[in-house]
Amino acid sequence: MRRKIYFLLAALTLSAPAHAQTAAQPVSFGIVGIVNGVDNVRVNAVLAQPPPDPDLPCPVRFQFLNGEGNAIGDPGEKILRGGAAQSLNFIGNPSIRNGTRLPVRATAMPL
């Protein structure tokens, strides 16, 4: 069964989503710049079209990447269920000095 999942990315304190996509494969978002230790990034996912059985879960893995495409932070696996949003935050990279500009992008993949 194919499920439609919509991913939204909002950075810093923006209240509007960057964009939404339907996914059957990994979704990558554009790069946003943050100040390490000051700003954060959140990626959200919503199961927009629930399966016939509303209790049927849809697992999703979130990951944040740096400007070179290397994983930063811990990946997060979340379970989507009909209409409820799940999110993962990136709050900074402890191996980089606070105050440094850091390019970050998010990926999300249905499992």
Number of structural domains found in the chain:
1
Q: For residue 34, what are the contacts with CB-CB under 8 A and spacing of at least 6?
A: 11, 12, 40, 41, 92, 101, 102, 104
Q: Kindly report the number of other CB atoms within 10 A of residue 86's CB atom.
A: 20
pLDDT digits (tens, 9 = 90+) for 61-99: 999 999 999 999 889 999 888 777 889 999 888 888 999
Give this prediction's pTM.
Answer: 0.72
Q: Which amino acid is at 50?
A: P
Pairing of strands 5-11, 27-28: unpaired
Q: What is the CATH number of the domain that holds 77?
A: 2.60.40
The pLDDT of residue 30 is above 70: yes
Q: Which domain holds residue 33?
A: 5-110
Question: How far is the CA of 25 from the CAs of 21, 38, 85, 91, in angstroms?
Answer: 11, 32, 19, 26
